[in-house]
Structure 1
């Protein structure tokens, strides 16, 4: 493939990404009539009326807080449990470690929809429906295979002498994990945290399945309020999408350096 053809393909791809993004961002400053009459045009003014409407909506603010609680708790607990599991898997020699690792990451191959009925019945019997605790638990379980997949790949590249050095100094496995493995695994943890944050923050399936109480709705579920059976308020919906996407963009900007380092660290064996 020539350099010109690659540029043409990349240019087409950039347009496919940029055009919907421009429509969404400019649509936040338009009325429904303006959006449908000129979807690709610039807004006639930059009055932040839609942002004011969404931000002053009490239910949206409550849903935003719910998303922060669920996502923050789920990301931290998934990182903690996943890093411990990855640390153990990295130290198990031979086929046994690979067998356990394969069993744990097999969850990535199972569609979430295949487990919806048994999960709902289980949560109903445990009294976890309409509960942020239940939502946190299901987010942890659903994303744990991804976390183990990324972090185990990195921790297996760490030289075995690193673990042996801790043992020689008298450190037990727990101390080795805290003082040696975690500090050198920060790039991998940051990359995993971004993946988990994006998946869990944007998740609509599990809140839609397990949450019926309006006071327990997360932000993606609350955005459905702008979509009706016969009419959808697209300017308010676009505004809600932009607000919901802001934390992800901010997190990526601040963790980009760690994200790139974490994704490339496990590609070369140390």
Structure 2
């Protein structure tokens, strides 16, 4: 039984590692060499694709836009989601569960269904071709996910803590800032990583709302390497590797918080 599980895990790992290695090796090839030897190791390893991409001033602008949109969206989503999650746990079962279900319904609606009315709304508000518009949309779209994760954790917090602080005269805001948030840090860290990946990789909303080059994000900018008749795959894959690097680095540094946050609240003491 153990050998079967081990074999399946090895097979699963190979299914992930082989395509990643293939993409990585392609970044050191020219388009001609790639079409000649798609899956093979490059004959001459040259960082030319990386140096030319890093030297491109526009890529610096796209990277800055992605960082700005992602960080602002994550912070705003975490703040609002934690406030809502705390409120849901304090409103009582009937009213709290009612609001919780509303946010669950928001997770069930496909993003593509809202594209036309969302675009019309952003045009009327004058928020197309702006980073502020992207931040607002990202926050609104991912807030149900944040509420779902954080509510599940905050419900596991001992109610006696809030009752005792309420008797001592603490306001709801003080209970939120002094009790709920400090105890929810592992769950907030896990949610932050999850939201970071969603916002950083988002292509739909930049594609919908951004047409001006100065406001493009990295995922949208990578489409420039894809032509109507020919695609520069080595340069495209180089952009994908560079765009993925911040996520990998963030996960390596925060993985213990991610694991702790995902398991926190699963077992009540």
TM-score range, shorter chain: over 0.9
Q: 5+ residue gaps in structure 2?
A: none
Q: Is 1:107 the equivalent of 2:93?
A: no
Aligned to 1:21: 20
Q: Is 1:216 the equivalent of 2:211?
A: no
Aligned to 1:59: 58
- 1:100 is paired with a residue whose SS is helix
Q: 5+ residue gaps in structure 1?
A: none
Per mean C-alpha deviation after superposition, the further-off stretch among 166-175 and 216-225 is: 166-175
Aligned to 2:147: 148
Q: Is 1:262 the equivalent of 2:258?
A: no
- 2:39 is paired with a residue whose SS is coil
Q: Deviations over 1:28-72 (max 9, x none)?
A: 111112222222222223321101111111111111110011111
Counterpart CA distance in 2 for 1:105 and 1:258 is 25
TM-score by length of 1: 0.96
- Which structure 1 residue ranges, 4+ long, deviate > 6 Å from structure 2? none
TM-score by length of 2: 0.97
RMSD: 1.1
Counterpart CA distance in 2 for 1:150 and 1:45 is 48
Cα deviation, residue 171, structure 1: 1.8
Counterpart CA distance in 2 for 1:237 and 1:75 is 27
Aligned to 1:168: 167
Counterpart CA distance in 1 for 2:208 and 2:67 is 19
Q: Is 1:124 the equivalent of 2:120?
A: no
Aligned to 2:95: 96
- 1:118 is paired with a residue whose SS is helix
Tell me how many residue pairs correspond in the alignment. 269
